[in-house]
Amino acid sequence: MPDQKYEAVIGLEVHVQLATKSKMFCRCDNQSEDATPNQNTCPVCLGMPGTLPVPNQTAIEWAIKAAMALGCTIPGESKFDRKQYFYPDLPKGYQISQYDQPLGGPGTFEFDLITKDGKVEPKKVGITRLHLEEDAGKLTHPDGADYSLVDLNRAGTPLAEIVTEPDFRSPAEAKAFMQELRLLMRTIGVSDADMEKGHLRADANISIRKVGDKKLGTKTELKNLNSFKFVEKGLAAEYKRQIEVMEKGEKIDQETRGFDEAKGKTVSQRGKEEAHDYRYFPEPDIPPLAPKELGVNAKGLPELPVAQKRSWRKAGVHSEVITLVGQDPVEVKAFATALEGTTDASAAGRFWLLGRNNKALAKDEFKSLMRFTIEASQDTTELSGPQAKQLLAKFIESGKCVKELLADPAFQPMDNADLGSTVDQAIKDNPQPVADFQSGNENADQVIVGAVMKATKGSADPGTVSKLVREKLAKR
Amino acid sequence: MSSQSSDVSRQTSDSTGAYLNRYDVKASMDALANGSLKDVPVAIKDIIVVANDYPSTAASKILEPFKSPYDATVIKKLSEAGAVITGKTNLDEFAMGSSTENSALGKTVNPWDESRVPGGSSGGSAAAVASGDAPLALGTDTGGSVRQPAAFCGVVGFKPTYGRVSRYGLVAMASSLDQAGMFGRKVEDVATLLQAVAGPDQEHDATSVDQPIPDFRKALTGDVKGLKVGLPKEYFIDGIQSEVEKAVRTAADELKAAGAEVTEVSLPHTKYSIAIYYIIMPAESSSNLARYDGIRYGLSVPDATSLLDTYLETREQGFGDEVKRRIMLGTYVLSAGYYDAYYKKAEAVRSVIRQEFDEVFKNVDVLLTPTTPTTAFKIGEKTDDPLRMYLNDIFTVPANLAGLPAISVPAGFDKQGLPIGLQLMGKQWDEETVLRTAHAYESKHDWHAKSPGDSK
């Protein structure tokens, strides 16, 4: 996919919806998922005459936490500003946001990219800023109606806006950052960070340049990339489009574009000349803030996922396991606890992977899976795949401890002498496949391996069996 | 005064047009003499929202049908103190004006001379108190909107320190300047009203400040011995009515005679006050008035054919000329390319003005100035000349820019029998000294006991 000639230069602007109990500037319930339209509103978030914003202390603290977790510098002074424009979903005619003194200043965030061949590549991303603002409401346009409907439940929900430097070199990197960001926000507990529910919303700036060039090309802005898939696909489509424009010798226009999934293309939405003058000025209703004096301490943050995943990798947990477990901080925590209970991290990863999709094991924050993983990874590293599956099934069925279950002879690893005679018997019983194999059909040995597995009721390790069958066939 | 007329009849006619909506209520002034508001009538400027069957209009067509779903914090506090609200008084639309002539919903005249303005923007509240309709009234003061009409109507008008009284429920004009203010016939009554509404409002106003609240009436000792009074020379300018200047200078002499030390001081940046006020105030106003868009409440022009049309038509029909003028000014000074030259520079000068006051207040306790350059002017005299109208606020605006407490007290009458006001400004949070000085001065005269009817 990456072009030999052009590299992508991508920066992200991400809105993270903070899961505080109340809204940013009033006491309304911030959780409106099941609310009827305009249920969670009050004179303040409706922008009634005479109302004033009182900032939510928790939202400010959480934004500072998020800024710290992203490696931002925390400034001595910060303030809110008004960003002004008219729209029916914006009750006051301005959005309270932060312009030139955000809660989080420039910093660097480092995380690990996993390449397609499983290699781990550390990636540094410059974080330009993190600021806090209020969300607008939602406008719906009923089919065929000559009116629109406004729902202001979401108006006033706290948002942390994170702006990165143009440090991503491919759509896949941008997507990986979004996934890491989701885990980070969940881990520090400031957002549910569910992209499907709009807790995490991304806009991207993208330009291309010839590999080796230092100068940035003209960028376009891609709006509303509201799933991980869209982040990657939308950027890939725009990357491709820009290459085509350049190759034709044409110029790229600075504009806002949207991703049309059905067509797999980006489409122009508005040009730069229509850009707003937001007439920012300091919000006079809210005194300036002193973020460093609010008692938010980097030491108070939990272990951050990048560091945690690195320690797992070092302990021998397979990358695939880390990627899967690392989606959800609840699972991360449970898995980390399981790792503490065992000395074989690699085996723990294997057993965890085996049971993580089982609902019975995953309930109660993975309590049962934790137990199974700890018990199984102590003594059962010799188990074959099918044996391990069987063990898991028995564990779920009986609830007995693994040690007790292992007393069943089905879980005894067969010694190679026993296995040898079983293989001999299988070769004897299957003359045709043997003949096929010897006349060059490389896959014919699978029939014999299958027969051995059947004879051992799955207790043999398929790898060992396969090796043994080949050895014996070769000797004939 | 307050002890004379118990059981005010609410049937008396509102001859000055002080009210936009006058409530039918029973009240009594008895408790006021004891510093209590129990059953005491209080008139409310109609820029302060009250949750009842009457609209809260800000004297604007755009809010003419608007009924507030909530009470302003000052209204809540008044109710808790047992006060009775007599109704909503007239004002310049959105408090933008110095004569109440900019009201879109009513006309108020000066109780001392019906051909003259009551001042503004809280002209209705000042007229209601001067005409004896209510002993007390609430107003708002952004650039002098309580003190200037108090001076024109011959009553006491007080603007506390910015942050002393909650702004929640005051329809915002300029958020960094607006402050609720009080009208009364006597300083003591104003202190009682201040006591009831002062205090932080952490739930609803982030700019209200948690400062200790003294007993304001107790500050009225009548003693000014050793008090350091400053006369800022920049407040005695050419064009000031000679009787006004004379009244203030006489007051200085009287304070001196009572044991105060009077010195001349200088506040050189005062001359920029009006210029920067007319940048900062419209900037904030243009933003605060953006919410009146015809979408959620108030006027909404029904036959608009598009969203843009709804905005344009509603605001075209709903706002008066002065409001539009300030929205345009404010939008301009905040625009890209002009922000640094206007708004930012104005804020820088504002800081200098603040520092200048801080410096002066190291040497004096209170500043004595005229409240206005002249006594009440004729209706229509300045409506065609906004600049001349703006200059009426020249002495009152600095206290708003610096957030300081300031009072206007009756200081006699001019040849035409029109009231003169003098202004006292104090340090931040030092309402006590301002009130004490005003009260000591007031107690040497009987002007506050004169009513419009007496002089004719």
Both tokens of A298, joined, read 């980097």
Rounded CA-CA distance B203/A54 in Å is 7
Task: Check B2, B45, B60, B122 and give the catalytic one.
Answer: B45
A140-153 pLDDT tens trace: 999 999 889 999 99
Residue A347 pLDDT greater than 60, yes or no: yes
Q: Would residue A143 count as lying in a domain?
A: yes
Boundary-marking domain end, from A370, A396, A411: A411
Phi and psi angles of residue A259, each rounded to the nearest 5 degrees, phi first: -100, 120
A377 and A314 part of one domain: yes
Other beta carbons less than 10 A from residue B332's beta carbon: 16
Contact predicate B285/B94, CB 8 Å? yes
B178-210 exposure pattern, b = at least 16 Cβ within 10 A, e = fewer: bbbbbbbbbbbbbbbbbbbbbbbbeebbbbbbe
A91 and A123 part of one domain: yes
A51-69 exposure pattern, b = at least 16 Cβ within 10 A, e = fewer: bbbbbbeebbbbbbbbbbb
Task: Check B122, B145, B166, B208 and give the catalytic one.
Answer: B145
pLDDT at A441: 84
CATH of domain B19-272+346-449: 3.90.1300.10
Phi and psi angles of residue A309, each rounded to the nearest 5 degrees, phi first: -65, -35
A186-207 pLDDT tens trace: 999 999 999 999 999 999 999 9
Model confidence band, residue A443 (pLDDT cutoffs 50, 70, 90): confident
A157-172 exposure pattern, b = at least 16 Cβ within 10 A, e = fewer: bbbbbbbbebbbebbb
A54 touches chain B (CB under 8 A): yes
Question: Helix or strand or coil: residue B8?
Answer: coil
DSSP helix, strand, coil percent of chain A (3-state; round to 5): 40, 20, 40
B296-330 pLDDT tens trace: 999 999 888 899 999 999 999 999 999 999 999 99
Flag if A279 and B307 touch (Cβ within 8 Å).
no
Model confidence band, residue B6 (pLDDT cutoffs 50, 70, 90): very low
Q: Which of A142-146, A282-286, A349-353 has the highest mean pLDDT?
A: A282-286
Rounded CA-CA distance B412/B446 in Å is 9
pLDDT at B435: 98
Mean pLDDT of B173-184: 98
Mean pLDDT of A94-123: 94
Question: Helix or strand or coil: residue A471?
Answer: helix
Model confidence band, residue B389 (pLDDT cutoffs 50, 70, 90): confident
Contact predicate B69/B81, CB 8 Å? no
Averaged confidence pLDDT in chain A: 90
| Secondary element (H or E) of residue A161 | strand A158-164
Model confidence band, residue A467 (pLDDT cutoffs 50, 70, 90): confident
A159 and A257 part of one domain: yes
Residue A413 pLDDT greater than 70, yes or no: no
Least confident of A428-437, B373-382, B406-415, B424-433: A428-437
Q: Would residue A53 count as lying in a domain?
A: yes
A191 and A211 part of one domain: yes
Comparison of pLDDT for A356 and B181, the residue scoring more: B181
Mean pLDDT of B144-171: 98
Both tokens of A196, joined, read 């499907």
A227 and A334 part of one domain: no
Report which of B67, B71, B69 is spatially closest to residue B80, judged by C-alpha positions.
B71
Mean pLDDT of B355-380: 97
User: In Å, what is the CA distance from A107 to each residue of A67, A165, B46?
Assistant: 9, 10, 50
Rounded CA-CA distance A384/A205 in Å is 49
Query: Which of A97, A272, A281, A289 to mutate to test binding with chain B, by most B CBs within 10 Å of its CB?
Result: A281
Residue B4 pLDDT greater than 50, yes or no: no
A310 and A449 part of one domain: no
Residue B11 pLDDT greater than 50, yes or no: no
Task: Respond yes or no: is residue B266 known to be catalytic.
Answer: no
Vertex A393, ends A387 and A396: CA angle to 5°?
Answer: 140
Q: What are the extents of the domains in chain B?
A: 19-272+346-449
Residue A374 pLDDT greater than 70, yes or no: yes
Rounded CA-CA distance A473/A470 in Å is 5
A163 and A233 part of one domain: yes
Mean pLDDT of A155-163: 98
Residue identified by tokens 């009260």 is B439
Structural domain that includes position A311: 305-411
In CATH, what number is assigned to the domain containing residue A424?
A: 1.10.10.410
Task: Say what percent of chain B tops pLDDT 70.
Answer: 97
A356 touches chain B (CB under 8 A): no
Model confidence band, residue A116 (pLDDT cutoffs 50, 70, 90): confident
Task: Respond yes or no: is residue B38 known to be catalytic.
Answer: no
Rounded CA-CA distance B116/B373 in Å is 16
For B331, the closest of A46, A94, A279 (CB atoms) is A279
| Secondary element (H or E) of residue B299 | none
Mean pLDDT of B128-144: 97
Q: Would residue A328 count as lying in a domain?
A: yes
Q: Name the packing angle between helices A305-315 and A171-187 (round to 10°).
A: 100
A262 and A122 part of one domain: yes
Residue A475 pLDDT greater than 70, yes or no: yes
A394 and A429 part of one domain: no
Residue B266 pLDDT greater than 70, yes or no: yes
Residue A1 pLDDT greater than 80, yes or no: no
A51 and A160 part of one domain: yes
Flag if A55 and B307 touch (Cβ within 8 Å).
no
Mean pLDDT of A52-58: 98
What count of CB pairs under 8 Å joins A to B?
A: 104
Boundary-marking domain end, from A370, A387, A411: A411
How many independent structural domains does chain A possess? 3
Q: Would residue A300 count as lying in a domain?
A: no
pLDDT at B9: 44
Residue B97 pLDDT greater than 50, yes or no: yes
Flag if A49 and B66 touch (Cβ within 8 Å).
yes
Residue B448 pLDDT greater than 90, yes or no: no
Task: Respond yes or no: is residue B45 known to be catalytic.
Answer: yes
Determine the distance in angstroms separating the CA of A207 from the nearest CA of chain B, rounded to an integer. 26
Residue A232 pLDDT greater than 90, yes or no: yes
pLDDT at B352: 98
Q: Reduce the secondary structure of B186-198 to three states and give it as a string.
A: CHHHHHHHHHHHE
ipTM above 0.85, yes or no: yes
A407 and A425 part of one domain: no
Mean pLDDT of B398-418: 98
Rounded CA-CA distance A69/B328 in Å is 43
pLDDT at B58: 98
Residue B62 pLDDT greater than 70, yes or no: yes
Mean pLDDT of B12-20: 86
| Secondary element (H or E) of residue B78 | helix B73-80
